[in-house]
Amino acid sequence: MVSLEAPKGLSPSLQQMLGSEDDLLFRKPTLEALSVHGNRRLKFKFPVIRNREADERFVLKHSHQPRLSQNVVNHLPTPILEAFSHALWQSLFKKNDNSDRQDDHVVANRVLNLFLLAEEKQQFQLPFWVAEDVKMLGLTDSTRLHSNYYRDERLDSDSLSAILSAHHFHYSVLNPKNRADKNNQCFLKYLIARTLTYGLPWADFLDHQLPSQPWEFSLLHHLNQVHHYLADESVYQRFSDLAQKMPPLDMLLDCFGFLETLLKERKYGSKIGNSETLRPTNHLVIVEGITEERLLPQFAHVLGLDLAQMGVRVVAAGGKNQVVQLYQQYSPCLSIPIMLILDEDAEHVAERIQTALRSKDRLVILAEGEIEDTYPLPLVLKTINRFYEPVLPLQEADYNQIIQECPLETRRVDVLKVLWRHYELGDGTFDKIHFADCLAQMLESPDDIPEEFRKILCYLES
């Protein structure tokens, strides 16, 4: 068990739900639990939301006495959740009597946290990120604090320093007297303070055995690769002074700048196992459904491209209307370009997006209809005959016969549904996602790739 001091200064209602105990008992997490939580903390998502959600699930799972409810955890202030998560991670790694070894891990942990911050600085806009983080910190028991610096939209060194101090963040790297700080520099210093105060001990964790399934924890395995690269290249040794309890600001910024340069060179990056995603993401592609999300990387592979190595992240929104919602969620905070791919029948959605489209973003509407309408017919028939085993191999004439029985302008998906029933393929029901997985295995040459998607991939490559 892990005993942690109960938080102070909560509202009476939350304090009552939490109980009157001086200490809270938590179950000590396993390495597997850290793997799940760590992978969630590394996912491509707006950091303020991602970290809060991951920490809530982690703390809730390990609370023991009193057993915290979902409602209580949802209302805990963010700094308390971060402190609990940090302490639970630390509980698994016993302190080594060798002080040099401890210092090595302190340095590695801080450098890795700065590395992750440098990655996300490339992806997310600092002003939006800091503003949203301040809003999150201004919530205590889900009630807005009334201090001026939470209401003031002008976030400068004074207000950000006050916020760090109010929430007991230990790295007061902001200098209120330095009026020459540009906003982005001020925001960066704030995020460094936020990152390092309760930064997870990644190096301690990575020096233990990682899960054996890299495709499940691909982001952790990539971070492990970065960890070994930084060690082999003596980066930790170079910044050994970061072992100090309160590292100087110049040293932190020097390390951060070095890591940013490293990210631009990307010497450390390579494909790992069956990983579909490799940080850092430098281009986001939002598609309607899982079919496009699965096939786009496969199309790229046949063309000799690797979306992970290119830094292209494909995200399925779950429908045309959800594409709009996802774009509205990402566009204010992302500094990287966004491509949106919509079916031909999404004109009204496209109009809504066009009015808000940033200059760096691109909207693509599939001229042929849905992704299934773009598949070359020979590839469709080859996939059916290989995986669905009709009594006799289907020919183009069989497919055309089904089309003649369908109304005009019928989509490919509807034709395939009739075809499945007519020839009793599989269980008689057409499953577009399963078919896409089968079709992906039949891709052999660039001629198998739909022309519209060849153009999309060519654009992403450029």
What are the structural domain ranges in the chain? 2-91, 283-370+453-461, 372-451
**CA distances to 43, 119, 327, 459 from 361, in Å:** 22, 20, 10, 12
State the Cα angle at 209 between 208 and 210, rounded to 5°: 115
Q: What is the pLDDT of residue 173?
A: 58
C-alpha separations of 410 from 100, 290, 314, 414 in Å: 71, 22, 28, 6
- Token pair 């998607």 is found at 453
At 185, which amino acid appears? Q
Query: Which pLDDT score is estimated for 275?
Result: 41
3-class DSSP state for residue 163? Answer: helix
* CB atoms closer than 10 angstroms to residue 429: 10
> Would you report the helix, strand and coil content of the chain in percent, each value rounded to 5?
55, 10, 35
User: Which residues have a Cβ under 8 Å from the Cβ of 458 and sit 6 or more positions away?
Assistant: none
**Number of Cβ within a 10 Å radius of residue 367:** 10
CA dist 170 and 250 (Å) reads: 16
The pLDDT of residue 273 is 38
CA 87 – CA 92 distance, rounded (Å): 9
HSE at residue 419, side-chain half, CA atoms within 13 A, is 28
CA–CA gap between residue 75 and residue 51 (Å, rounded) = 15
Q: How far apart are the first and last CA of the chain?
A: 53
Does an H or E element contain 297, and which?
helix 290-302
> In this structure, what token pair is assigned to residue 438?
């089968």
- State the pLDDT at residue 153: 57
Fold of the domain built from segment(s) 283-370+453-461? Rossmann fold (3.40.50)
419 burial type by CB count under 10 A (0-12 exposed, 13-18 middle, 19+ buried): buried
pLDDT of residue 343: 94
**Which amino acid appears at position 443 of this protein?**
L
Give the C-alpha separation, 460 to 462, whole Å.
5
Secondary structure in 3-state letters for 174-242:
CCCCCCCCCHHHHHHHHHHHHHHHCCCCHHHHHCCCCCCCCCCCHHHHHHHHHHHHHHHCCHHHHCHHH
Give the model's pLDDT for residue 276.
38
Q: What is the mean pLDDT of each run of 10 residues along the chain (462 residues)?
A: 84 76 89 93 92 96 92 89 95 69 88 95 92 81 50 72 80 54 79 93 88 70 89 93 87 94 68 44 92 95 90 91 92 94 91 92 94 96 94 93 84 93 92 95 96 96 88
* Residues facing residue 5 across a β-bridge: 23
Determine the Cα–Cα distance for residues 70 and 352; give it in Å rounded to an integer: 36
CA pair distance 330, 325, nearest whole angstrom: 9
pTM (2 d.p.): 0.80
Task: Report the pLDDT value the prediction gives residue 171, as an integer from 0 to 100.
Answer: 57
Q: Please count the CA atoms within 13 angstroms of the CA of 146 that sit on its side-chain side.
A: 0
Query: What per-residue confidence (pLDDT) applies to 182?
Result: 62
